[in-house]
Chains A and B, each alone.
Chain A
Amino acid sequence: MSQPILSVRAAEKALGGCPILKGVDLDLYCGQISAILGPSGAGKSTLLRAIAGLERLDAGQINSREYLWNNENQFTPAEKRRVGVVFQDYALFPHLTVEKNIAFGLKDSESKDTAQDRVRELIEQAEIGAQAKSYPHELSGGEQQRVALARALAPRPDIVLLDEPFSSLDRRLRADLRTQTMSAIRDAGAAALIVTHDADEAFETADTLFLMEDGRIIQSGSPTDVYTHPVSITAARLLGDINIVSGTANSSVLDTILGRISVPDCLDGTKLKLLVRPEALVPSEVGAEFIIDDIRIRQGRQRLRAIAADATIWIAELPLARTIKKGETLRLALDESSISVLPA
């Protein structure tokens, strides 16, 4: 992989005496979309604001290419960094039309004609031509979001930051806009960082996923990898439901109600936790018996609450194709390729 366009090292920041960032490392690459996922209060927005130059770090460093943006002695303010930001509430200038909002960042860098061309191009791209002369309060939520993105992209920044950009939109609109937004960012070729607390959103948008919890990045990698092989229970829970089994390994084997799992022999004698995603439970003739206690339909799949012989409760997810009735007995086995074993 090429040189990162932005790197954050050991970033620390306290607000009002309360530590928010506790040593964060993060790299962004051109043409890549990254997402930070974490619960509220994890420090996501603070990290984003530090990258934008709206907060100064207490310790650590931020570099962009060969430029030092922030360390103990040096700080480049936001207006000198030219990082594009789409704010959570969009922060459109209420007294300026759509056109003028988009043109705001172009003023001194380009000549008037090229600036006008650029604005026209962005308005076309965002499909807001009819509203070019409208004021922000006359726009719908989705239109406001598109204007905010166009405004951020107008000066052709190398880095675009998006703070919960879809959180105030309704569900269906959100999916449409997400696709549109992502393709606009990909076209721009910038490095993008999206802050979100919605796991589905993170999966759908990101090439690289950063999981953040309590001021630290607890895991990063491709979305699939992070989902199927979480490094901790906390990381696992951030991305969705998870079944947890504890046990002790013996001669490279962990005995569970679902059968034997092979583990590296160095783990023999240690207490382990087995993390199983609901999708990793598959129907099988040789599986263990479960009584189905509850069935819910979710996004075209069925989610089952299953009670095992030892009375433990499991969550399984199966395609809708198979009809299952409440109270039915079902045999389920483990798909070993998508489970994680962690020391307890």
Chain B
Amino acid sequence: MTAHKSGPAIFGSLAALVAAGPILAVAWVAISAPWGDYLIHLMHTRLTGYVLNTIIVTSTAMLLAGIIGTATGWMIARLDFAGRGIFAWALALPLAVPAYVAAYGWLDLTQSAGPLQTPLREAGLPALAHLLPVIRGPFGAGFVFAITLYPYVYLIARQAFAEQHPDMQNAARTLGASRWRTLTGVTLPLVRPALAAGLALVAMESIADFGAVSHLGAPTLTVGVVRAWAGAGSVPDAARLAVVLAFFAYLAFALERQSRARARFGQTSGGYRQLQRLRLSSWQSGVAAIFCGIPILLGLAIPLGRLLYLALTEPTARGVMDGLTNSLGLASITAILAAVLGLGAAYAIRSGTPLGVLSARLASLGYAAPGAVAAVGALVLFAALQTVMDGIWGGRFPVLLSATAGALVFAYLSRFAAVAIAPCEAALTQVTHRLDEAAKTLGAPSRRILTEIHWPLILGGVGIAALMVFVEVMKELPATMILRPFNTDTLAVIAHNYAADERLGQAALPSLIIVLATIPAMILAARSLTRGADR
């Protein structure tokens, strides 16, 4: 193997190591460490609840997000109505709202002391106030995940609907099928694999969340892992819960991968033809616009509006500036490192060597590991490293774990390097081997091929990759809760701590800043992801 080919494979292996390391460490500790009392106690008491909550929260989220995402995706792809162009991208915006932020807003609005119930009660209608639903518990959490995560389904569904060859419908119609039968018999079955892929993403995010479920009182397995570490201080117990958690996450991940592979059969072959969108009359347009507006109201406008009101009326929280600095710093460092790893892994895939491809594919597994699992894994690995280093240096080696952000960045990377691989890989597909060869036959040495052909072509994709990781780190909560160095709170942690103390007014500002920092990146990433789908 020449140096030219082994270089990418090394990067790929590194990415695979970073991604797979924590999970393997978790599994190893779960098996080898002695069983603690806490876990035995837990199995008798809370474990069933954790598992049950995980299942209820996830299935509620998948069901609702599936309905919202499929319906809006179909409308944007197939119908033409007033405001369609704006809704096309606005429908993706709720993805910029972390589920825990939406949870703060919704619970504050609907709780018994909130602005909806209080007036009714004061007006002497407590029975009516009692009828209003309160967004809490596993079903409330499922609702919050649905309205913030449905864009995953929407974006994939929209693309699948738009790319379907119009002759599919035409063939069904000429065979005598009604509009309804065409929709249910041809159009929907063809996009089903794509929908499943989107739903799997919803499931993965719901399973991995910590902030929303802990705020809404629906403790899932992720909450269990964080409590085992933060409350009981037991790494082996946290690891054992993490294994159960990882099982659910990988179940969803497997579904996603399988669905993506199967989604190919729904794709068009042969010539692409512009799909004719069905033009709606003016009143139909109004109905469509209202329908598309509802998810944006629920996921973005209402919770953020409530938080904005709170931020303006309540005293400002302390430490927000420090939190912002910490968040920006951690997000930037992780984004740059992840982009480098992602690009390396993408080159490994491109090199086509078995080791390179395998390791890059392994690295993409990291995304399935919930933050809590990655964090516990990083704990184990860094503790082991500390022991080894102390042995070599005689106990005077600097403390790795609690004093530096190293473990935290490592955990971020193990989870989000995979996020960076996909855009880098997509960018690299533009750089065909044929282009390399053309440049070579024109006398260009490798260095010139890299700087003048590769770099300009992949720069955009690498930028998107870094941006996506940046956004993820800004929002991240469970891994940060477990691994943050002493006195280093991020915006997400500050918001969570205030919200946990029922001080929503103070939680509002950091929450809003997270959303503000996320939205521009969101729009960019969403546009690049669906480029060409919305012509």
Chain A interface residues (CB < 8 Å from chain B): 49, 52-54, 77-85, 87, 89, 91-95, 104-105, 107-109, 151-152, 154-155
A126 CB, min distance to chain B CBs, angstroms: 16
**Complex partner residue of A52 from B441, B452, B456, CB under 8 angstroms:** B441
In B418-452, the 8 Å CB interface with A consists of 430, 432, 434-435, 437-445, 448, 452
Across the interface, do B435 and A108 meet the contact criterion of CB distance under 8 Å? Answer: no
Tell whether B40 is near chain A: CB-to-CB under 8 Å: no
Chain B interface residues (CB < 8 Å from chain A): 430, 432, 434-435, 437-445, 448, 452-453, 456-457
Across the interface, do B439 and A104 meet the contact criterion of CB distance under 8 Å? Answer: yes
With A91-B432, A93-B453 already in contact, the answer to whether A108 and B437 are too (CB < 8 A) is: no
Across the interface, do A94 and B430 meet the contact criterion of CB distance under 8 Å? Answer: yes
With A91-B434, A91-B435 already in contact, the answer to whether A85 and B441 are too (CB < 8 A) is: yes
Give the residue name and chain of the A residue nearest to B432 (CB): A91
Distance, CA A79 to CA B443, complexed state (A): 4
**Contacting residues, chain B, for A54 (C-beta < 8 A):** 437, 440-441
Across the interface, do B442 and A151 meet the contact criterion of CB distance under 8 Å? Answer: yes
Distance, CA A81 to CA B445, complexed state (A): 12
**Complex partner residue of B435 from A49, A80, A93, CB under 8 angstroms:** A93
Across the interface, do A53 and B456 meet the contact criterion of CB distance under 8 Å? Answer: no
Across the interface, do B443 and A109 meet the contact criterion of CB distance under 8 Å? Answer: yes
Q: From DSSP, what is the main secondary structure of chain A's interface residues?
A: loop
Distance, CA A107 to CA B449, complexed state (A): 13
Q: From DSSP, what is the main secondary structure of chain B's interface residues?
A: helix
**Contacting residues, chain A, for B440 (C-beta < 8 A):** 53-54, 77-79
Distance, CA A151 to CA B441, complexed state (A): 10
**Contacting residues, chain A, for B457 (C-beta < 8 A):** 94-95
Across the interface, do B443 and A85 meet the contact criterion of CB distance under 8 Å? Answer: no
**Complex partner residue of A82 from B430, B438, B443, CB under 8 angstroms:** B443
Across the interface, do A89 and B434 meet the contact criterion of CB distance under 8 Å? Answer: yes
Across the interface, do B444 and A104 meet the contact criterion of CB distance under 8 Å? Answer: yes
Give the residue name and chain of the A residue nearest to B437 (CB): A54
Across the interface, do A91 and B437 meet the contact criterion of CB distance under 8 Å? Answer: yes
Distance, CA A152 to CA B435, complexed state (A): 13
A158 CB, min distance to chain B CBs, angstroms: 13
**Contacting residues, chain B, for A78 (C-beta < 8 A):** 437, 440-441
**Contacting residues, chain B, for A151 (C-beta < 8 A):** 438, 442
**Contacting residues, chain B, for A87 (C-beta < 8 A):** 434, 437-438
Knowing that A54-B440, A79-B442, A104-B442 touch, tell me 16 more A-B residue pairs with CB under 8 angstroms: A78-B437, A78-B440, A79-B445, A81-B441, A82-B443, A87-B434, A91-B435, A91-B437, A93-B435, A93-B453, A94-B457, A95-B456, A107-B444, A108-B443, A109-B443, A151-B442
Across the interface, do A83 and B453 meet the contact criterion of CB distance under 8 Å? Answer: no
18 A-B pairs with C-beta separation under 8 A: A54-B441, A77-B440, A78-B437, A78-B440, A78-B441, A79-B445, A81-B441, A83-B441, A87-B434, A93-B438, A93-B439, A104-B444, A105-B442, A105-B443, A107-B444, A107-B448, A109-B443, A152-B441
**Complex partner residue of B441 from A84, A89, A92, CB under 8 angstroms:** A84
Distance, CA A89 to CA B435, complexed state (A): 10
Distance, CA A268 to CA B487, complexed state (A): 104
B445 CB, min distance to chain A CBs, angstroms: 6
Distance, CA A54 to CA B437, complexed state (A): 7
A152 CB, min distance to chain B CBs, angstroms: 8
**Contacting residues, chain B, for A82 (C-beta < 8 A):** 441, 443
**Contacting residues, chain A, for B456 (C-beta < 8 A):** 95
**Contacting residues, chain B, for A93 (C-beta < 8 A):** 435, 438-439, 453
Across the interface, do B444 and A79 meet the contact criterion of CB distance under 8 Å? Answer: yes
Q: Which of B441, B452, B453 has the most CB of A within 10 A?
A: B441
Distance, CA A107 to CA B453, complexed state (A): 14
**Contacting residues, chain B, for A52 (C-beta < 8 A):** 437, 441
Give the residue name and chain of the B residue nearest to A92 (CB): B438
**Contacting residues, chain A, for B452 (C-beta < 8 A):** 104
Q: Which of A53, A82, A93, A151 has the most CB of B within 10 A?
A: A93
Across the interface, do A155 and B442 meet the contact criterion of CB distance under 8 Å? Answer: yes
**Complex partner residue of B438 from A85, A95, A154, CB under 8 angstroms:** A85
Q: Which of B432, B437, B445 has the most CB of A within 10 A?
A: B437
Across the interface, do A53 and B441 meet the contact criterion of CB distance under 8 Å? Answer: yes
**Contacting residues, chain A, for B443 (C-beta < 8 A):** 79-80, 82, 105, 108-109, 155
B456 CB, min distance to chain A CBs, angstroms: 5
B271 CB, min distance to chain A CBs, angstroms: 14
Distance, CA A105 to CA B443, complexed state (A): 6
**Contacting residues, chain B, for A83 (C-beta < 8 A):** 441
User: 8 shortest A-B CB distances, which residue pairs?
Assistant: A105-B442, A78-B440, A91-B438, A91-B434, A85-B441, A79-B440, A95-B456, A78-B441
B449 CB, min distance to chain A CBs, angstroms: 9
Distance, CA A83 to CA B440, complexed state (A): 9
A108 CB, min distance to chain B CBs, angstroms: 7
Q: Which of A53, A84, A105, A109 has the most CB of B within 10 A?
A: A105
Give the residue name and chain of the A residue nearest to B431 (CB): A94
B8 CB, min distance to chain A CBs, angstroms: 19
Give the residue name and chain of the A residue nearest to B443 (CB): A79
Distance, CA A109 to CA B444, complexed state (A): 11
Distance, CA A104 to CA B441, complexed state (A): 11
Q: Which of A49, A80, A81, A91 has the most CB of B within 10 A?
A: A91
B93 CB, min distance to chain A CBs, angstroms: 30
Across the interface, do B437 and A85 meet the contact criterion of CB distance under 8 Å? Answer: yes
Q: Which of A77, A84, A87 has the most CB of B within 10 A?
A: A87
Give the residue name and chain of the A residue nearest to B448 (CB): A107
**Contacting residues, chain A, for B439 (C-beta < 8 A):** 79, 93, 104
Distance, CA A104 to CA B445, complexed state (A): 12
**Contacting residues, chain A, for B438 (C-beta < 8 A):** 85, 87, 91-93, 151
A86 CB, min distance to chain B CBs, angstroms: 9
B428 CB, min distance to chain A CBs, angstroms: 13
Q: Which of B430, B438, B439 has the most CB of A within 10 A?
A: B438
Distance, CA A105 to CA B457, complexed state (A): 18
Distance, CA A94 to CA B458, complexed state (A): 12
Give the residue name and chain of the B residue nearest to A105 (CB): B442
